[in-house]
Structure 1
Amino acid sequence: MFRSLFNNLRAAANLLLVLAIGVSLSGCVSTRLPIASVSPWSSITLDTQSNPLDVAFTDSSHGFLVGSNRMIQETNDGGASWNERSLDLPEEENFRLISIDFEGDEGWIAGEPGLLMHSSDAGQNWTRLFLDTKLPGEPYLITAIGSHSAELATNVGAVYETHDDGGSWEGRVSDAAGA
C-alpha cells in the first residue's frame, strides 16, 4: 500500500530532477558547452494555456495529461501528439486536475476542489466520485494499485485506500493533520 505511494513520490522526484537538469542544460548553447548528439527526449508543443501537472499511460501508446483549468489531453501515439478531452464537471467551478494514474484499463484522477474521478475503460468514460466533506485536506495524489483499488493522499498527509471502485475509503494514516 505505502510502497506504491512511495514509488509514485520517488517517480515524481525523479521527474523533477530530470526537468531541472534539462533546464540547466538548455543553457549549453549560450555557454558554448557541447550538446549531447543523441537524446531520447523530444520537445512537444501543447496547444493550451493550462499548466500540465501529471501524465499517465494505459499502455505504451495511450495516455492522458492533466493539469490546471480542467486540462485533460489524450494521446494514442505515445505522446507525439495530444488531443483535448473534456470531463463532465460543473461549469461554475474551475477544477485543477492534479494527479492521474492507471493500472491497466482502470484509471483515477484526483484534483481540486475535492475532485476524484474513476474510469474502468481506459479513460473513455469517467465517473465523478463524491468524497466525504470531513475528508481532511484536498485530494493530491492518486495511485491505482489493482483491480477496483487505489490509494489517495491528501495535501495534509491523510492516506486512504479503496477496494470497491471508490465506493468506500479506509484511512491508512492515523496521525495526519486534521484526520
Structure 2
Amino acid sequence: MCSYKNNIVQLTLGVVLCLLQGAAQAADYVDVLDLPAKVSALAGKSPLSGVARAGERVVVVGQRGHILFSDDSGKQWQQAVVPVSADLTAVSFPTATQGWAVGNDGVVLHSSDAGATWAKQLDGRQIGDLLIKHYSALATAEPDNETWPNLVAEGQRLVEQGADKPLLDVWFANDKLGYVVGVFNLILRTEDGGQTWTPFQDRTDNPQGFHLNAIASTGDALYIAGEQGLLLKWDESAQRFTVLETPYQGSFFGVLGKPGEVLVYGLRGNVLRSTDGGQSWTALDTGLHVSITSGLVDASGKYRLFTQGGQMLVSQGSGEQLHLVRKPAPTPIAGATQSAAGALVVAGSRGVQALSVDPDLEP
C-alpha cells in the first residue's frame, strides 16, 4: 500500500512540475511581432528574399526580421535595427531615405534613414479590424450592396484567425503613395506614407481571392501578378485593378518592364511579353523549366531574370529574346538589384552575394 501511495505522490509531483514548467515557458513566450530581430554574425548567410536600392545603398530583408545594408556594392554588410522577428519578404525604397518592408504576420515596417533603423507601422493583428471598420462604413452607406457584408465577414475571419497572413510584396510610387499585397487578395493602400491604410479588396478583379504575389510599375503602368494566371493592371479612370487575360494559367511571381513593354514571369520558366499594355501577349522561349523568381532592368536597359535554380537570363535590350548566360549562384535566387557601381546583388536561401557583370559573356 505504501508503495502504491508513493507512486501516486511521485506521479502527482511529476504532473505539477510539468504544468509549472509549461506555465513558465508560456510566460516567457514573446510574439515575433513584439520581439526585436537578433543581431547575428550569420545574418548575411541566412535566407534572404527582398532586395532594393536606397540611393547608393543596397538593402536586403529576410528570415527572422533580418535586414542588412551595404554601402560598397555588397562587399560588406551591416545589420539594421528591426523591431520584429517575423520573416520578411520584400522591400521598397521610392527615395534614397524612405523605405518600406513587409513580411509574415501582416507586418509593415518603415525606415526614414535609408534602412539603418526601422519602425513597425502595421501588423496582422490590426488588419482585420481595418477591414471591419472600412467595409462596415460602406455597408451602412449602401445597405443594398451585398459586397460590403461579405468583406466585413472577411475582416472578422482575419480577426478570429489571428496575425497569420503574409504580405508578399510592397511598392511605393513616392514617400506617400504605396501598396502592400499578400495572400487571399490581401491588399492595402496608403496615401500618407503608411500612417493610415485603406483596404482595397473591393478594388481588385479577383473574386476567387487568389494570392497576390508581386506588385510593380513599368514606368507607365502598375501591375499585380498572382497565382493561377492572375494578372491585374491599375485603371486610373475606374480607380481599380482590372484583370488582364493571359495565355498562361500557372502562377506568376513577378512583373518588370519599361514604358511600352512589360514582362511577367513565373512557374516552369514561363515568361510573357506585351508591348500594348497587356492587351496581347507573346510567350518567350526561355529554354528552362525551372521557376523564374526575380528580375530587374539594369542600368543599360537589359532585362535580367533569375531562377529558383540560380540561373540568369539576359536580354539584348528589349525583352523580345532572353539568353541563358551562366549560372551565377549555386542557390535559388529570390531577389535581385543592381548596385550604384554596377554589381548585381542577389539574395536567396544561402544569403546575399554580389556578382560582377562580364560583358564578354553576355549578348
| Global fold match (TM > 0.5) | yes
State the partner residue of 1:142.
255
Local SS of the residue matching 1:79:
coil
Give me the CA root mean square deviation.
Answer: 3.5
Q: Does 1:15 align with 2:61?
A: yes
CA contact (8 A) 1:106 1:148 kept: no
State the partner residue of 1:109.
224
Residue from 271, 282, 300 that aligns with 1:170:
282
Unaligned 5+ runs, structure 2: 1-48, 54-58, 68-78, 85-112, 128-157, 159-164, 291-363
Q: Distance in 2 between matches of 1:149 and 1:99?
A: 17
Structure 1 stretches of 4+ moved >6 Å: 22-25
**Structure with the higher helix share, 1 or 2:** 2
| Correspondences of 1:24-173 after superposition (within 5 Å) | 40-46=117-123, 47-48=126-127, 49=158, 50-86=165-201, 87-89=203-205, 91=207, 93-104=208-219, 106-121=221-236, 124-132=239-247, 135=248, 137-143=250-256, 145-173=257-285
CA contact (8 A) 1:67 1:96 kept: yes
Summarize the Cα distance change of 1:129–1:81 in structure 2 as closer, same or farther, 3 Å threshold.
Answer: same
CA contact (8 A) 1:58 1:105 kept: no
How high is the TM-score relative to the length of structure 1?
0.70
State the partner residue of 1:32.
none
Q: Which protein has the larger Cα radius of gyration, Structure 1 or Structure 2?
A: 2
Displacement of 1:79 in angstroms is 2.2
Q: Distance in 2 between matches of 1:175 and 1:63?
A: 36
Q: Distance in 1 between matches of 2:225 and 2:281?
A: 14
Displacement of 1:123 in angstroms is 9.1
Q: Distance in 2 between matches of 1:56 and 1:65?
A: 7
Local SS of the residue matching 2:174:
coil
Unaligned 5+ runs, structure 1: 1-7, 28-37
Give the total of aligned pairs.
158
CA contact (8 A) 2:235 2:242 kept: no
Local SS of the residue matching 1:156:
helix
Give the percent of matched residue pairs that are identical in Structure 1 and Structure 2.
24
Summarize the Cα distance change of 1:64–1:141 in structure 2 as closer, same or farther, 3 Å threshold.
Answer: same
Q: Distance in 1 between matches of 2:244 and 2:186?
A: 18
Q: Distance in 2 between matches of 1:137 and 1:158?
A: 9
Local SS of the residue matching 1:14:
strand
* Code of the aligned partner of 2:66: A
Displacement of 1:85 in angstroms is 1.0
Local SS of the residue matching 1:117:
strand
How high is the TM-score relative to the length of structure 2?
0.37
Displacement of 1:23 in angstroms is 9.7
Displacement of 1:176 in angstroms is 2.5
Local SS of the residue matching 2:61:
helix
CA contact (8 A) 2:220 2:259 kept: no
CA contact (8 A) 2:182 2:212 kept: yes
CA contact (8 A) 1:136 1:158 kept: no
Displacement of 1:154 in angstroms is 0.9
Local SS of the residue matching 1:69:
helix
CA contact (8 A) 2:66 2:80 kept: yes
